[in-house]
Amino acid sequence: MARNILNRVLVFNSIYILQIIEIIYLKLIEKLKRKQSVNKSTLIIVRNDRRGKFTTSASNISGIKCGKTADEIDVLSFKFYQFLRKYDFQNQMLYGDIPLYDLYTRQVKLKLTDTIIATLQLYEWSLSQENDIEIISDAQTIEIIRETLSFLELQIKNIKWKKQYLLTLVITINSILMRLASIIINFFSKSTLPKTYYKRRYKDNYPTILITLSAKDPKRFFNSYIKKIKHFNIILYSIGILEDPLEDYEVINIKIKKNIFQDS
């Protein structure tokens, strides 16, 4: 006997959406959510819900425990970063002679952490479903979640991925507008990037970390903390004034030149 099943929502705030685009995006999600599925469990993955429209909804499964501790998630996010980096053959962005993707920034960590948690929640929810499962979202989100499932070595039975055209169009337009805004702001604003960096490379297979020296007494901070760090390649820049050179560090002076696409 056919029966209607309420559509569920999984929210993870992984991108910034412009306000006017966000209104359209959430209306599309609301329209999809109102539809009822017949003999299948449908989950709509939402990339942003700053307004809390779905976060407090009874249909939201984002409160499901993901089965991992915070420490385990931190470890997984770093391993996921290494996994993505390993298969990133197109990266041409260099920081000196070091690929920019080698720098594990806080922003990257937060995005990967949110993605892993959302994927684990999806998996935990799927275990309780007796019907076939349909996942609806934009094309980019679906590819992200599928890649994360592959990394976590998790398989969901009887799953169908549905790339919703209008959601994909909205996310694509948002990405283009955000990139355009970034170019305009970058071109007309004064760069605040440091012009002097310090680099120490131990081994090519070591991870690279970026550290900011303190504004007050940076040399003391360097001697008491950074000097003791081993098994990492390090890039430093200092907010405060360094009067003496850093031992075993190469000084890199960056000339900042404006063009339409980037600071270089």
Q: What is the dihedral of CA 118, 123, 126, 127, to 10 degrees?
A: -140
Q: Which of 21-25, 100-104, 184-188, 246-250 is the least confident region?
A: 100-104
User: Quick one: how far is CA 116 from the chain centroid?
Assistant: 10
Question: At 164, which amino acid appears?
Answer: Q
Residue 196's beta-bridge partner residues? 253
Task: Spell out the residues 6+ positions from residue 139 whose beta carbon is closer than 8 angstroms to its own.
Answer: 163, 168
The answer, yes or no, to whether residue 263 has pLDDT greater than 50, is no
Q: In what order do the strands lie in the sheet with 196-200?
A: 208-213, 233-238, 196-200, 250-253
> What's the pLDDT at 262?
47
Q: Tell me: the pLDDT tens digits for 196-239?
A: 888 888 888 888 888 888 778 888 888 888 888 888 888 888 87
The answer, yes or no, to whether residue 100 has pLDDT greater than 70, is no
Q: Locate the DSSP E strands across 47-165.
A: 94-95, 98-99, 132-137, 159-163
> What's the pLDDT at 2?
46
Give the confidence band of 95 by pLDDT, cuts at 50, 70, 90.
Answer: very low
Q: Supply angle C-alpha 18, 64, 70, rounded to 5.
A: 85
Structure tokens at 212: 């900011």
207: how many CB neighbours lie within 10 A of its CB?
A: 14
Q: Are 99 and 63 in contact (CB under 8 A)?
A: no
Q: Tell me: the pLDDT tens digits for 48-93?
A: 877 777 777 778 888 888 888 888 998 898 888 888 777 664 454 4
Structure tokens at 12: 């993870």
C-alpha neighbours within 13 Å on the C-beta side of residue 200: 20
Give the end-to-end CA distance of the chain in Å, rounded to a whole number: 64
CA proximity to 118, closest of 49, 187, 169:
49
The answer, yes or no, to whether residue 154 has pLDDT greater than 60, is yes
Structure tokens at 146: 């599928």
Question: At 139, which amino acid appears?
Answer: A
> What's the pLDDT at 134?
93
Angle between helices 106-126 and 139-152 (to 10 degrees): 80
Looking at per-residue confidence, does 107 or 248 come out higher? 248
Looking at per-residue confidence, does 183 or 255 come out higher? 183
pTM, rounded to two decimals? 0.68
DSSP character for 263?
A: B
Alpha helices in the chain (DSSP H): 19-34, 70-86, 106-126, 139-152, 165-188, 218-224
C-alpha neighbours within 13 Å on the C-beta side of residue 146: 14
